[in-house]
Amino acid sequence: MAGPIHLEGTTLEGGGQLLRLATCLSALTSTPISITNIRGKRSGGGGLKAQHLTSVQWLGAASNARISGAGLKSKEITFTPGSRSTSGLEWRNGGEVHIKQSTPGSVNLVLQAVLPFMLFANLGSEDAEVDEEVRVKITGGTNVSNSPSCDYIEQVLSPMLSLVGIPPIETQVLSRGWSQGGARIGSVTYTLKPLRKPLPAFQLRDRGDIETVRATIIAPKNTEQQFRDELDVMFERREAEVFGGRDPNVDTTFEDSKHEKRYYLLLVATTTTGIRLGRDWLYDHGVRAGKTDTVISSIVRKVSDDLIEEVEHGGCVDEYMRDQLVVFQALAVGKSNVYGGKRKEVLVEPSLHAKTAHWVANEVINVYFDDDGGCKGLGFGADTEGSTELAIDENLREALKKLKITGD
């Protein structure tokens, strides 16, 4: 029998996303994998942090996997899932799933690892009551640097997934949990509906015009007015860059961060075709007396610069969505396309995270991403994997051409 598929953890981005995607695809498709040098490109020696370990253990339990080597800081694991037919619905526990972290590790990186499993796992399982909702409560950090915030999940990821055919995911933040330095553990409940049918291929090609921008500010209460004023000035000055020729439509919400060192801003643009582009920044340092204005204006400047860059490329995904959609393209039935936009007439290259996700999907389930962001998915859960299209061998196609019969 062939051994597990080996993945070298320093490949491309070489971080935690490689591990999350690989174990999730492994668990779903019952494909044994081994990963060496886990998070090998991260400082501090790499290896599994609590957040990564939580995800691996949850996926392992849900797929009846044998896991060897998994512990805090471990750099190598072998993950051998049991047969999915025996996993059934055990992981759902009557529609409730509770994943506890005792550290403020990002709840949304745990979600990133487990969500595709939860959505797809019951496809093809005869006993599955697939229309039942699942409430997933995860504790940890709700707003953590270098990861999606709960606000991003609610305002960007969930609406984008709805556009590609995943039922809307409802977000309920029960309490905020902030990352290191005065860490606080929070919790959030996501309510989702596992898929009843294989995911059809999807096309995200038409960006449309920017219709609205929503600004979400979470900061110490006494900074609300400064933030609002700074945003008003920015939008007045940069209206044309954000909205093109359309009337500006900005909606701003403010929440007290209840933490003197936590300033968070998320800007989300929604287009006429329903596309969402989001950019954010969590500023988590102390602010010296008299410097609050400077800090707020640099947060607003940075996030608006980033959003405008996303608007200007004309693509249907922001940098982060692009890698987070990869798993859905990889599992869909048929060829999905995601237009990433152009800068100076040249296609925007996928980020290193996106290229890493392409590589992992190729290694574990043998699907291929082309340079334009297209991928013919595995067709997970379909009777014949990947086959809504009639598969015609190239030789046969040539022969048919000679007979003037097309196979298209």
Ligand X SMILES: Nc1ncnc2c1ncn2[C@@H]1O[C@H](COP(=O)(O)OP(=O)(O)OP(=O)(O)O)[C@@H](O)[C@H]1O
Q: Give the sign of the dihedral formed by CA 136, CA 127, CA 62, CA 1.
A: negative
Distance CA 164, CA 194 (A): 14
Q: In what order do the strands lie in the sheet with 263-271?
A: 250-256, 210-219, 263-271, 276-283
Closer Cβ to ligand X, 101 or 324, answer by number: 324
* Cβ at position 328, least distance to ligand X in Å: 13
Closer Cβ to ligand X, 121 or 153, answer by number: 153
**Which residue is listed with tokens 């061998």?**
393
Closer Cβ to ligand X, 355 or 376, answer by number: 355
Piece of 11-19, 233-241, 303-311, 328-336 that binds ligand X (CB under 6 A): 11-19
Residues 269 and 216: beta-carbon distance below 8 Å: no
Q: In what order do the strands lie in the sheet with 5-8?
A: 5-8, 33-36, 77-80, 66-68
Restricted to residues 308-337, the positions that interact with ligand X (CB under 6 A) are 320, 323-324
Q: Give the sign of the dihedral formed by CA 124, CA 127, CA 132, CA 134.
A: negative
Restricted to residues 350-379, the positions that interact with ligand X (CB under 6 A) are 353
Closer Cβ to ligand X, 122 or 149, answer by number: 149
* Cβ at position 280, least distance to ligand X in Å: 5
- Among candidates 68, 54, 51, which has minimal Cα distance to 15? 51
Closer Cβ to ligand X, 146 or 294, answer by number: 146
Distance CA 219, CA 19 (A): 33
Q: Give the sign of the dihedral formed by CA 230, CA 236, CA 239, CA 241.
A: negative
Distance CA 70, CA 76 (A): 7
Among 17, 34, 54, 158, binds ligand X (CB under 6 A): 17
Here's the x/- map for ligand X, 79-108, by CB under 6 A: it reads as ------------------------------
Closer Cβ to ligand X, 207 or 322, answer by number: 322
* Cβ at position 62, least distance to ligand X in Å: 19
* Cβ at position 125, least distance to ligand X in Å: 28
* Cβ at position 385, least distance to ligand X in Å: 25
Closer Cβ to ligand X, 17 or 80, answer by number: 17
Distance CA 139, CA 27 (A): 22
Closer Cβ to ligand X, 43 or 406, answer by number: 43
- Among candidates 103, 65, 76, which has minimal Cα distance to 19? 76
Closer Cβ to ligand X, 375 or 382, answer by number: 375
CB-based contacts of 178, cutoff 8 Å, min separation 6? 104, 141, 142, 143, 144, 184, 186, 257, 259, 262, 284
73 near ligand X (CB under 6 A): no
Q: In what order do the strands lie in the sheet with 96-99?
A: 96-99, 134-140, 186-192, 170-175
- Among candidates 334, 271, 260, 338, which has minimal Cα distance to 307? 271
* Cβ at position 152, least distance to ligand X in Å: 5
Here's the x/- map for ligand X, 38-57, by CB under 6 A: it reads as -x--x---------------
* Cβ at position 326, least distance to ligand X in Å: 9
Closer Cβ to ligand X, 307 or 333, answer by number: 307
Among 5, 9, 12, 16, binds ligand X (CB under 6 A): 16
280 near ligand X (CB under 6 A): yes
* Cβ at position 51, least distance to ligand X in Å: 6
Residues 149 and 108: beta-carbon distance below 8 Å: yes
Residues facing residue 6 across a β-bridge: 34
Q: E strands along 197-321, which residues?
A: 203-204, 210-219, 250-256, 263-271, 276-283
Among 22, 35, 99, 109, binds ligand X (CB under 6 A): 109
Count residues contacting ligand X (CB under 6 A)? 16
Q: E strands along 194-299, which residues?
A: 203-204, 210-219, 250-256, 263-271, 276-283
* Cβ at position 86, least distance to ligand X in Å: 29
Closer Cβ to ligand X, 77 or 109, answer by number: 109
Here's the x/- map for ligand X, 123-152, by CB under 6 A: it reads as -----------------------xxx---x
* Cβ at position 103, least distance to ligand X in Å: 12
Question: Which residues contact ligand X by CB under 6 A?
Answer: 13, 15-17, 39, 42, 109, 146-148, 152, 280, 320, 323-324, 353
